[in-house]
Amino acid sequence: MGKLSHYGSRGEVRMVDVSEKAVTTRTAVAQGFVKMKPAVVRAVRRLRNPKGNPLEVARIAGIAAAKRTAEWIPLCHPLPLTHIDVTARLCQNGVEVRSEVTATAQTGVEMEALVAVTAAALTVYDMCKALDKGMEISGIVLVKKTGGKSGDFFRGAGAAVAGNHKNNLKKTTRSRGR
């Protein structure tokens, strides 16, 4: 395991200097799940939600949040994102949220993908809370990342998002690091 790069020699927190890093194309995919009661799933499916279509609003919220990740996470670099895709898919017991983010930059886009999924999941909760305040947000994970000095990462096929929905992860167990 490598050392944490956000600490200086005296333990002070700092933003990592990426000035000398190569500009490469980097991608990251993240996912999460919003578990809800069957009645809420039915209401979302029938678009009988007091606030409108939560899946579409969640998609837009995730895209907007990815672009503002450096404002959410204090030590993240603001990045010129070249692609953001957020999907919110209704499943048997909730909503699966997935994001894919790409940038050609000096540092990775893992946080942008994770922030997109988090914001989208929170938006689903907000849009449906009038129907059920007991919904659960879980399983927010990085599924894969490519590019950069540390190499590629692929979450293993056995790692499913919490919930009883089908897992769409590709069956790979490769993981490369420093």
Catalytic residues: 126
Q: What is the DSSP letter of 34?
A: E
Residue recorded with tokens 């029938």: 46
Task: Note the helical H segments in 19-173.
Answer: 38-45, 54-67, 69-72, 110-128
3-state class (DSSP) for residue 122? helix
DSSP 75: T
